[in-house]
Amino acid sequence: MIRRAALAVAWLAACVGPPPAATPADPVRDRPGADGGASSVADAANAANAAPDPLTVREGDRAIEFACNGLDDDEDGLVDLLLPSAANACHTDRPGACGAGHAACVDGRRVCMTPPPMPEVEDGVDNDCNGAVDDVRVEAQHPRALVLAPRYAWTDAAPDIANVMATLAQAGIPYERQAVGTEWDAAIATLDGYSIAVVPGYLLGTAISASARAGLERFVTRGGVLVIWKPIGKPEQKQAWDLAGLTGSARRRDVAELRVEGTSPFTADLDRPEERTLPINGKPGPNGVEVWVLEPREGTEIVLRAYAGGKAVGAAATRRALGKGAVYALGHDLSTFDAPRCYVNCFEPSGDVMRMALEGVYREGAAGHVVLSHTVPGAASSVLLVTHDLDAPDAQNAGEWGEPGALQAAHVERGHGARATFNVTTDYVAGYFNPVVVKQLCALGMCPLGAHGVVYSARFAALPEGTCTETRATYGSAPSLCGEVRVSMQLLAELTGERPRVWRSPFLALHPKQYDVLAKAGVLYDSGFGIGDLPHNLPLDLAAIGAHQDRFHQRSLLEFPIALEDGLDTVEQGKHRRVELQESNKNLFAARWDYTLLANAQNRAMTTLVLHPSRGRDMPNDNMRVKMVALDRILSRATSADAVALTMDQMGDFWRARLAARVDATWDGSSYKGTITAGPTTAPGFTLEFGDAIVGFSCPECGGEAQIHGKRVVLPTALKPGVRATFTARTR
């Protein structure tokens, strides 16, 4: 695969080159306590800044680095990259949950990344870090969110509102929205039925009447959390500033990054260096991504700080405590990033930050007693999506490298009880397409398959659309978008009996008409964006999000961004060169893959890997073995990280059913009572996550006894379409 032409050379260098020896592998600039703000990272007094002895420990089959000394102690090509695994578990003298985390290198220091105090729940843990366990505030809660906004925002800021609602759905937070095109006064009057209220887009001071402000502040005072985006005003129109606890705001387009500060629930899940420094603009200028810099009043906490030219220029997110609740103001949409860290083979969580932040404030508003649709089917903590692109002769044919690479990969996966998605190039023109191998993959349990085109054209993005009546019998020497999609799917359907629902374009190219043709062809799941293009680590519903609709055209496909791949791109004398995974760099790939998988697992996210089951360009026959060893190793790491290996079809079917299901519950001080309403599709493994540990679960319509795993409950069977099931989850 190659990067899109629009990617800057700097992105390429960031992705492939090890960092300078004198700095941490993943530089983080938010110093604990910098600029007078507190930090959820333990300070130097609680940090193991001196190098431990020895410098590495063994974890499984490899050395794990845990010293921050500017050296590559484990000889994997990366400096001071500490895996968030058992070897780097750490503790501070802070009480309860606030005293345990994983170490990371921050500005050359080893620091313990620990969470801030959170609302106390019944789980045997001191969540609020006050020295007492399970001292729960017994108040009834209705944990759900309301998306509301002034009338103008539903038109002027429609993409921003769509992004927020898609993010709430990603997080599994139950939510409702104000009726589009209405004034928000009626919605404000219903806020007693919610725990958080979210106002996306931008909020003009003139949009807040005296009654609206009174209603919003009454909601917050009783314990609710209000989140507003981009409060805008003037000295004579400062209603939005007053609501947020600000004295002013100003738009800037030169902000390079945002850095996390403070100890608010907003940042509770932001516990990796990459999550605490968010790159915004790579080349700030008049067309740069906008950030509204906020001026907090005394007593208003800074949550994110904006930096331009290496200097702090003001707050980018704030928290105003009011009564039992809080008002958060955000100066950036947390969706638009013009400076990704890398393209693939890295941990890039920028697009996940809004999800984790909203989940944190959701827990705050509901006093910890929440219910969510979990992001993973069943009891596992995370998902590894292993995908293989069969776009080379040795992937589909035997030779000096042994049996076809596709079958070698399938045997490795069978040994782990795992399945992978095989995207097949049906290239009968070049002649390496092997129908026998396709049938053998099915016999090994690896079907259904994905389609990867016919002729693997480097001109894919510029192909004519075609007629979309193309068949194998009529598709000739003139490639077209329709032909590449439809004919490859036809051939695979004839061989396997199942029409592919998964697509990946050759070279990850994007055709302007791509999603229209895919939708008409019955494709449901696409995976063609690198994590540097679309920095999310969970599937995105392309019909629901507001971003990139110039490409997606509201087509209802799920997108699975790629985080890991078996190649790197280098830039030599202005030209791109692919560097394959091989014996000389296998430790570098292993470290990056491990780090990304473990960090995503902490975020309840998935990790998508592309491994080409072939030797690679200009590689010796033995390189097939190196790739199979790497595949075996990442599957072993997934098992130890409690990540289940699924196919894109499996994860996609689960995700579509999860997005369509509706959950509504209340907490009465000792139990949750609620309903689950299934959508038009079903998938096994639907899982609820509660704020408290569950000791008993009853759901008569669920078809059997549910599995209880601490705070998670896995339904015993898939609910039938449209079924409304009632449940009770006891916490004591």
CA-based R_g, the chain, Å: 26
| Mean pLDDT of the 597-623 span | 96
Say if domain 661-730 classifies as CATH 1.20.1440. no
Contact 483, 459 (CB under 8 A): no
Contacts of 297 (CB under 8 A, 6+ apart): 245, 246, 247, 320
Is pLDDT at 65 greater than 90 in this prediction?
no
Which percentage of the chain shows pLDDT scores above 90?
82
Q: How far apart are CA 514 and CA 492, in angstroms?
A: 20
At residue 180, the pLDDT reads: 85
Which residue type sits at 112?
Answer: C
Domain at 145-367, CATH homologous superfamily: Class I glutamine amidotransferase (GATase) domain (3.40.50.880)
Beta strand pairing call for 225-229 and 325-330: parallel
Contacts of 494 (CB under 8 A, 6+ apart): none
The CA-atom distances, in angstroms, between 221 and each of 139, 467, 719 are 15, 60, 39
Q: Tell me: the pLDDT tens digits for 506-546? A: 999 999 999 999 999 999 999 999 999 999 999 999 999 99
Q: How far apart are CA 357 and CA 633, in angstroms?
A: 33
How far is residue 98 CA from its own chain's centroid?
24
At residue 497, the pLDDT reads: 96
Domains 145-367 and 661-730 share a fold: no
Q: Tell me: the pLDDT tens digits for 132-158? A: 999 998 889 999 999 999 999 999 999
Q: How far apart are CA 671 and CA 573, in angstroms?
A: 64
Say if domain 387-653 classifies as CATH 3.40.720.10. no
The CA-atom distances, in angstroms, between 731 and each of 108, 332, 395, 665, 692 are 43, 38, 52, 14, 6
* Band of residue 181 on the pLDDT scale cut at 50, 70, 90: confident
Burial class (CB in 10 A: 0-12, 13-18, 19+), 140: exposed
Tokens (6 digits) for 632:
């075996």
| Mean pLDDT of the 329-344 span | 93
* Band of residue 732 on the pLDDT scale cut at 50, 70, 90: confident
Is pLDDT at 405 greater than 90 in this prediction?
yes
| Mean pLDDT of the 180-194 span | 94
Q: How far apart are CA 529 and CA 549, in angstroms?
A: 14
More confident residue, 460 or 42: 460
Q: How far apart are CA 567 and CA 581, in angstroms?
A: 6
* Band of residue 574 on the pLDDT scale cut at 50, 70, 90: confident
CA nearest to 498, candidates 446, 436, 456: 446
At residue 478, the pLDDT reads: 87
Please say whether the dihedral angle defined by the alpha carbons of residues 73, 78, 82 and 84, taken in this order, is positive or negative. negative
Instruction: Give 267-292 as a 3 state SS string.
Output: HCCCCCHHHHEEECECCCCCCCCCEE
Contacts of 99 (CB under 8 A, 6+ apart): 91, 92, 93, 114, 129
* Band of residue 236 on the pLDDT scale cut at 50, 70, 90: very high
The residues spanned by each domain of the chain are 9-113, 145-367, 387-653, 661-730
Phi-psi region of 713 (alpha: psi -120 to 50; beta: other; left: phi over 0): beta
Is pLDDT at 238 greater than 60 in this prediction?
yes
At residue 532, the pLDDT reads: 92
CA nearest to 9, candidates 523, 576, 469, 652: 576
Beta strand pairing call for 257-260 and 421-424: unpaired
At residue 571, the pLDDT reads: 72
At residue 56, the pLDDT reads: 67
**Phi, psi (rounded to 5 degrees) for 527:** -145, 85
Instruction: Give the SS3 label for residue 317.
Output: strand
Kindly compute the dihedral angle of the four CA atoms of residues 139, 141, 146, 149, in this order, to the nearest 10 degrees. -10
Least confident window among 66-75, 586-595, 667-676: 66-75
Q: Tell me: the pLDDT tens digits for 611-662? A: 999 999 899 999 999 999 999 999 999 999 999 999 999 999 999 999 999 9
Which percentage of the chain shows pLDDT scores above 70?
92
Q: Tell me: the pLDDT tens digits for 253-294? A: 999 999 999 899 999 999 999 999 999 999 878 899 999 999
Q: How far apart are CA 51 and CA 262, in angstroms?
A: 27
* Band of residue 177 on the pLDDT scale cut at 50, 70, 90: very high
Q: How far apart are CA 129 and CA 98, in angstroms?
A: 6
Q: Tell me: the pLDDT tens digits for 11-43? A: 223 233 333 222 233 323 232 323 333 344 444
At residue 7, the pLDDT reads: 35
At residue 122, the pLDDT reads: 95
Contact 669, 140 (CB under 8 A): yes
Within 10 Å of residue 568's Cβ, how many Cβ atoms? 22
* Band of residue 54 on the pLDDT scale cut at 50, 70, 90: low
Percent of the chain as helix, strand, coil, to the nearest 5: 25, 25, 50
Please say whether the dihedral angle defined by the alpha carbons of residues 356, 643, 369 and 704, taken in this order, is positive or negative. positive
Is pLDDT at 10 greater than 70 in this prediction?
no
Q: How far apart are CA 289 and CA 424, in angstroms?
A: 39
Q: Read out DSSP for 710-721?
A: TTEEE-SSPPPT
- Name the average pLDDT for the chain: 90
At residue 284, the pLDDT reads: 79
At residue 213, the pLDDT reads: 97
